[in-house]
Chains A and B, each alone.
Chain A
Amino acid sequence: GAGVSQSPSNKVTEKGKDVELRCDPISGHTALYWYRQSLGQGLEFLIYFQGNSAPDKSGLPSDRFSAERTGGSVSTLTIQRTQQEDSAVYLCASSLAGGRGDTQYFGPGTRLTVL
């Protein structure tokens, strides 16, 4: 079946501009995660959605970052007034129910470059 998809695959933007990154999780998965992977670093948790519960936003690095998940499916990560340090690969993952042993399935990521 279809995996997690993300768009765009690459995004180049100028400092100060806003960007939107999209994630389409696997159908039927109730849990959705956003991560950031900077060069030479492990993954950094950003935000987590589980069903209709309030999202866990504790990983968002600043108030320039926000995310929403409409209808329990597609999610959009928005970065306002981008800065050069926002350059990274942004990864989305989904899992069936968010349980402790649940496997997270990752999308291919969006590579964001802020000039």
Chain B
Amino acid sequence: AQSVTQLDSHVSVSEGTPVLLRCNYSSSYSPSLFWYVQHPNKGLQLLLKYTSAATLVKGINGFEAEFKKSETSFHLTKPSAHMSDAAEYFCVLNRAGNNRKLIWGLGTSLAVNP
């Protein structure tokens, strides 16, 4: 079965410190993986995606994620958090050969403290 697990429902960091949002996946096929961000009262925005090219993917706003097949992980990181990073983050799996149903994690709420 295909699944996505976001290991933390809430993460709190101080401004200027690193961010780590964890995501594990399960897939029988070679997956495409995405991270989306949702700011309060705003639409979902793509941060970055992995589609079987480079395993280290760089996205917008200084975020990056590394696809690790051996660990079935796709953790999202940022070296230095900014107040504007406070939002809900979703890890998403797209199964190979099936683009119709993205499998969404339940989300991680990131709080950034001054």
Contact = CB atoms under 8 A, between A and B. Distances in A.
A31 B106 contact: no
B49 A101 contact: yes
Interface SS majority for chain A: loop
A91 interface: yes
Instruction: Sort chain B's interface into a size bin.
Output: 20 to 34
Contacts of B32: 100-101
Contacts of B106: 40-42
19 contacts: A42-B104, A42-B107, A43-B90, A43-B102, A45-B101, A45-B102, A91-B43, A91-B44, A95-B99, A99-B99, A100-B94, A100-B95, A100-B96, A100-B98, A101-B51, A103-B49, A104-B102, A105-B46, A107-B43
Interface of B: 32, 34, 36, 42-46, 49, 51-52, 90, 94-102, 104-107
Interface of A: 3-4, 31, 40-43, 45, 48, 50, 56, 58-59, 91, 93, 95, 98-109
